Amino acid sequence: MSRVGKKPILIPLGVEININGSDVTVKGKLGQLSQMLDARIKVEINDNQMVLVPGSDSSEMSAKHGLYRNLLNNMVTGVSSGFEKTLKIIGVGYRASKKGEDLEILAGYSNPVPFKKPDDITFDVPDNTTIVIKGIDKQRVGQIASQIRDIRKPEPYKGKGIRYFNEVVKKKVGKAASSSKGGK
């Protein structure tokens, strides 16, 4: 059995779980998510805990056991408290602003780059160099954050670009700095 899969999932107050065969639906104050499970994995709910039981002890089933446990845990967390990713914009003249519900990002191109707001995601721009992406689906929040980061990835010489809040960009030594060290 999977070590991750053995852990029970705590169900907070206000979260409702419906199991219909291999389809699990989680409903909370922020929304509703559903997931199809492998038919061989059974879901048991006792008190305020959910436990997944694998159908066999094969390595494939062990991997799926841990995967589905984490997917269900992310669903419970998402509908109760939600997920968020923060992006920082670094560079002179680089900034972001909200235009209605959508984002407009100035990242060194001749024109601003518009980014349409998906239905299940919300944007927050506390200052012009910070973007906060919020949603109930962890995978979707990460995907949208990655798409925004791809507009201008951080470059290794000056560090300019869009990066995750806690991302560390290793800077490279430039051409002028490396040639002056050789000295004749």
3-80 CATH, one of 3.90.930.12, 1.10.150.130, 3.30.200.210, 1.10.357.140? 3.90.930.12
Mean pLDDT (the chain, rounded): 90
Confidence of residue 137 (pLDDT cuts 50, 70, 90): very high
Q: Is the pLDDT of residue 149 over 60?
A: yes
What per-residue confidence (pLDDT) applies to 179?
56
86-112: pLDDT as tens digits? 999 999 999 999 999 999 999 989 999
Per cent of the chain over pLDDT 70 is: 95
83-164 CATH, one of 1.10.3720.10, 3.30.300.30, 3.90.930.12, 3.30.70.2190? 3.90.930.12
Q: Is the pLDDT of residue 182 over 80?
A: no
Confidence of residue 4 (pLDDT cuts 50, 70, 90): confident
Q: Is the pLDDT of residue 176 over 80?
A: no
Q: Is the pLDDT of residue 58 over 90?
A: no
Prediction pTM value: 0.86
What are the CB-based long-range contacts (under 8 Å, 24+) for 36-44? 37/68, 38/64, 38/68, 41/65, 41/68, 43/19, 43/72
Task: List every span in the chain annotated with CATH 3.90.930.12.
Answer: 3-80, 83-164
Confidence of residue 180 (pLDDT cuts 50, 70, 90): low
22-35: pLDDT as tens digits? 899 999 999 999 99
Strands lying side by side in the sheet with 32-36: 16-20, 23-27, 32-36
What per-residue confidence (pLDDT) applies to 63?
86
